[in-house]
Structure 1
């Protein structure tokens, strides 16, 4: 992630990247949010005022 984005912007980016890869398996929004929760828990991302940014580990 090169610049801060909203959750919906990140979701669209992930969907587009996965759409271009024919071998990628489906990813539900629920799993995407769980991944964001994990990244937040380990301080890889920060979430504030609706925006996701790289965290201390990012």
Structure 2
């Protein structure tokens, strides 16, 4: 799992090469992103990447 310090480098992908989509949650079990977030990552702006990271952290805290 990614740690909070990676947000400082918001260009660092949260991918940890555990690419398994959870059918119930719609999230990758490795990086906690949705398919839309995964697909958008490479073309995302820095602000969008920071936003995705914030969503990931919120999801991890609620689980």
By percentage of residues, which structure has more helix? 2
Per chain length, whose mean CA-contact separation is higher, i.e. which structure has more relative contact order (CA < 8 Å, sep 6+)?
1
TM normalised by structure 1 equals 0.36
TM normalised by structure 2 equals 0.34
By percentage of residues, which structure has more strand? 1
